[in-house]
Structure 1
Amino acid sequence: MEQIKVIFFALASFFGIEDSRIAADKTTITIYPEKKEIEIIQEGLFSIVQTEKDSVLILEEWNKLSELKKGHTNWSGELDSFTMKSFDFTPVKNAIQPHLILKYSNEKDLRNLGIWYDENKNQFSVNHNEQDNLTTSDGNLEGNYWVFNGDHKFSFTLAPFLQMPENYLKFKRPLKELISSVKKQ
C-alpha cells in the first residue's frame, strides 16, 4: 500500500500546481461508501514565509486558486478517475476552509489518494504513519493500517504539521494573515 498522498495537505496539488506553498494544519477526510463520495475539508491554511519573494509566490498561488474557484478548474491528473469534482471555499470564523467533494465509480479509484478497499472484507484502509497524526473514532489500527468498515460513512483527520521543526515553525504564517496584509497595502 502507498502512503496517504500529500495532495490532502497541499491545497494547490488538487489542481496539478507543482510545489504548492499553501498547506493545511488539519485535513478531515470523510468517505460515504453508499454515495461513492469523498469529502475533504482543510483547516488552518498556512505557508512558510522566509523572504519577501516567498510572500509574492504564495499570493500568486492564492490568486490562481481563487480563479479556479470561479469555474476555470484544471484538476490534477491523479483525480482523472473521479467522475465528479467540486471545490469551494467555506468561510468559518474569519478563516478560509477549502471544501472538496469527489465522486468515484469504483473503490479502486481511491488508491490514487492512498486509500485502499478490500472487497472480500468490505473494508477500507490507509497506511499508518505516525507523522500524519491520523485520528479517528471510526476505524481501528491493525498493524500498519487504519481499517474502516465499508458499510457506512467514516472519517479521519490528518495533522502532519504538529511536529514541525523549530527552524520552520518560526516562519509559519497563517494564509489569512498574508492575504490581510496585502489588502491593507
Structure 2
Amino acid sequence: MVEIEILFYVLKSFFGFDDGRIVADKTTIHIYPQEQRLEIIQTDLFAVIQSEEDTNIVLAEWDTLLHWKEKDISWAEGLDGFSMKCLILRPTEKTIESHLILGYSNEKDLRAMGIWYDRGKGQFSINHNPANHIQTESGKLVGNYWVFDSNGRISFTIEPFLRKSGNYQKFFLPSGWVAGGKE
C-alpha cells in the first residue's frame, strides 16, 4: 500500500510539511489524462486559530508559502516524478485562492495524492471518504472508490469542512486576514 503524502486541501503538504494549518474549504481537482496534467484549485483558504501562539504559527506558515521561491522551499518528495510544478496564489474578493498545476509522465506519480490508475480498464480511482464530501459529474461511486474513465477530463471537488460545528467555526480565520492583517 502506498502512503498518501499529499492532501489536496492542505496547501503546505505540497511542500512536504505534515503540519500545515492553512487549508482549503473547497478543493477542485481536474485531471487531463491526454495532456498528463493535473490542476488543483484550492478556494476559501483559512486557518483555525485558538491562541496567540496559533496566530504566530499561521503567520509564519503564510510567510513561508508566500515566499516559497525566495526561501528556496522544496516541493514534497511525492512530487519528484512530476515534470512540471507551478503554484499561483491569487487574491479573491475576501480570501486567497491557490492554483497548482502539475505535469506528469507516468500515472503512478499520482499515487502520492491517492489517485490510482488501472491501465487494463483505462480508469482512474480515488478512495471514497464520506467526510470529504466528494462531488463529481465525471465519475461514479463503485464500492469504496470513485472511478473515472480516462478518455476525457476528470473533475471532482472535495469539501472536508462542509459540516463544521458551531464551536469549530468560531475559530476560523480567513486567509485574507492572514495575508492582509485584517478581516
What TM-score results when the alignment is normalised by the length of structure 1?
0.90
- 1-side partners of 2:26 and 2:166: how far apart? 19
Moved more, 3-12 or 44-53: 3-12
> What whole-Å deviation, never above 9, does each CA across 1:9-57 have from its counterpart, x for those lacking one?
1111111123111010000000000110100000010111101111111
RMSD between aligned residues: 2.1
- 2-side partners of 1:6 and 1:132: how far apart? 15
Equivalent AA in structure 1 for residue 168 of structure 2: Y
Equivalent AA in structure 1 for residue 61 of structure 2: E
The 3 A distance-change label for structure 1 pair 113 and 6 is closer
The 3 A distance-change label for structure 1 pair 71 and 106 is farther
Residue 120 of structure 2 is matched in structure 1 by 120
The 3 A distance-change label for structure 1 pair 43 and 125 is same
- 2-side partners of 1:57 and 1:147: how far apart? 38
1:179 offset after TM fit, Å? 3.0
1:73 offset after TM fit, Å? 4.1
The 3 A distance-change label for structure 1 pair 71 and 55 is closer
Residue 103 of structure 2 is matched in structure 1 by 103
The share of aligned pairs that are identical, in percent, is 47
- 2-side partners of 1:2 and 1:74: how far apart? 22
CA contact (8 A) 1:3 1:126 kept: no
Unaligned runs of 5+ in 2: none
Residue 147 of structure 1 is matched in structure 2 by 147
- 1-side partners of 2:99 and 2:146: how far apart? 23
The 3 A distance-change label for structure 1 pair 33 and 160 is same
CA contact (8 A) 2:95 2:174 kept: no
Residue 39 of structure 2 is matched in structure 1 by 39
CA contact (8 A) 2:133 2:158 kept: yes
Unaligned runs of 5+ in 1: none
Equivalent AA in structure 2 for residue 103 of structure 1: G
Equivalent AA in structure 2 for residue 41 of structure 1: I
Residue 63 of structure 1 is matched in structure 2 by 63
- 1-side partners of 2:148 and 2:93: how far apart? 31
Residue 11 of structure 2 is matched in structure 1 by 11
Equivalent position SS for 2:81: coil
Moved more, 89-98 or 142-151: 89-98
User: Between Structure 1 and Structure 2, how many residues are aligned?
Assistant: 183
- 2-side partners of 1:51 and 1:101: how far apart? 34
